[in-house]
A and B are shown apart, each in its own frame.
Chain A
Amino acid sequence: ELKVEQNPLFLSMQEGKNYTIYCNYSTTSDRLYWYRQDPGKSLESLFVLLSNGAVKQEGRLMASLDTKARLSTLHITAAVHDLSATYFCAVEVYGQNFVFGPGTRLSVLP
């Protein structure tokens, strides 16, 4: 059974600081996704990571994938308040499973 964990579940950080959210999963996967969810809104796709060593960056967010360790990271650089949201990772085993992590609620404080 595919299980996806995220760490931490809650994160408060000050503007300008850096931090990393971790996503661990239990079985070999084909794709890993990162999503953002703003309060009261639906999911927004951030990144799709397809292969070992994949790294993608968009603004202050950078995601990476280590398939051997079954680990993905979402790194936040010089956080700003607009990044406050809940971040989900999701893991796909093609044609079989698509499982969300529990989400990490990020609050960026001024």
Chain B
Amino acid sequence: EAGVTQFPSHSVIEKGQTVTLRCDPISGHDNLYWYRRVMGKEIKFLLHFVKESKQDESGMPNNRFLAERTGGTYSTLKVQPAELEDSGVYFCASSQSQGLNTDTQYFGPGTRLTVL
């Protein structure tokens, strides 16, 4: 079974540009999570999708970040315009169902974003 995949693995952009990160969860997983780890700091939760709906977006830092999950399959996280402090590693995780024994989150490899 394929795991959670993320694309690209690395992205280097200039301040003010736009970047779109993609996450493909494990097939059949309704829950999709985005996390961010800024260098030297702890991982922070960004948001949680259940299928195509945003269940919790309390961790989104500001309105420069836009996440979508059209059709409840893959998700994109767009940063527009990117700022220097957005640099870090963005992780995606998915889980099958909430409230059951299938809610273990499986993490993707992350996308390393560098804003110059």
Contact = CB atoms under 8 A, between A and B. Distances in A.
B78 interface: no
Interface residues of A, number: 16
Interface residues of B, number: 20
B99 A42 contact: no
Interface in A84-103: 86, 88, 95, 98-100, 102-103
Given A42-B45, A43-B43, A100 B107 contact: yes
Interface of B: 33, 35, 37, 39, 42-43, 45, 48, 59, 89, 91, 98-99, 103-107, 109-110
Given A43-B43, A98-B37, 7 more contacts: A37-B104, A39-B98, A39-B103, A45-B43, A99-B109, A103-B106, A105-B104
